[in-house]
Amino acid sequence: MSDTPPVEPVVEGEPAPAEPASAEPTPAEATPAEASAEAPAQGFGDAAGEAPDATEVEFSDELSRAESDAAQARADVAALTDDLQRLQAEYLNYKRRVDRDRELVRENATWTALAPVTEVLDTIDRAREHGPLEEGLRAVAEQLERVVAGQGLVRYGAPGDAFDPMLHEALSHIGQDPDVEVTTCKVVARAGYRLGDRVLRAAQVLVVDPAPEQTESQRAE
């Protein structure tokens, strides 16, 4: 007899009998663990080496533009601050100059108005050199002096004052005087006037110089 198994007749319309499942998995049916082990591992270096995406590039560009704008804004603020300080200094200098010119104009106007009055006072001073004034004339003289002083005009110059070329006009030297140590106003020919620190009219004076020191031989003689 033959060892070939008998072939069962196939009935048309019925499914063929399923073959028994194999106990060993095929290569295509690898387990998840094996698939994970066989997959190439991606390290940190691979991720870092990737090129940045478009969002990161756009953000970097915007940050650079913002830093540039901020630097330009700081430069503009510094320039405007310098301009403001320069304008403020120019304004202060202009204000001082205007105030000084205004004060000068006021002083000139005051002197122009009172100069004739001072000439009258000069005549009264010469009259006083010859004796006391009469009561009526004395009252007028005192009133004129009060008017002049009320406008800030200060009279100066008296015998015995140290000579100051900024305040006095020396008309003449009249010799030496052993009682003085510096050049001194001996006679006041005409009083001077000043308004504040400004001399409007120098006092006209006659001056004397100090006598030179004598040697012991000269003193003995």
Residue 94 has pLDDT above 80, yes or no: yes
Give the tens place of pLDDT for each residue, 7-40: 555 444 445 555 544 445 444 454 554 544 454 4
Helix, strand, coil shares of the chain, percent, nearest 5, are 50, 15, 35
- CATH number belonging to domain 154-221: 2.30.22.10
d(CA 199, CA 189): 17
Pair of tokens at residue 204: 């006209």
d(CA 45, CA 34): 25
Q: Which helix (H) or strand (E) holds 125?
A: helix 54-128
Question: Tell me, what's the pLDDT at 40?
Answer: 47
203: number of Cβ within 10 Å = 24
Enumerate the domain spans of the chain: 64-151, 154-221
Q: How far is CA 206 from CA 40, 43, 99, 128, 159, in A?
A: 121, 111, 38, 19, 9
What mean pLDDT comes out for the span 179-190? 92
Question: Tell me, what's the pLDDT at 45?
Answer: 44
Q: Which of 151, 180, 183, 144 is nearest to 167 (CA)?
A: 183
Total-model pTM: 0.53
Give the whole-number percent of the chain exceeding pLDDT 70.
72
Pairing of β 203-210 and β 168-177: parallel
d(CA 49, CA 42): 12
d(CA 156, CA 172): 19
Q: Which helix (H) or strand (E) holds 76?
A: helix 54-128
145: number of Cβ within 10 Å = 15
Pair of tokens at residue 101: 């010119």
d(CA 179, CA 151): 38
What mean pLDDT comes out for the span 31-51? 48
Question: Tell me, what's the pLDDT at 189?
Answer: 92
Residue 215 has pLDDT above 60, yes or no: no
The overall average pLDDT reported for the chain is: 78
Which amino acid would we find at residue 158?
A
Which amino acid would we find at residue 195?
L
Q: Is 40 exposed, middle or buried (0-12, 13-18, 19+ CB in 10 A)?
A: exposed
Question: Tell me, what's the pLDDT at 98?
Answer: 93
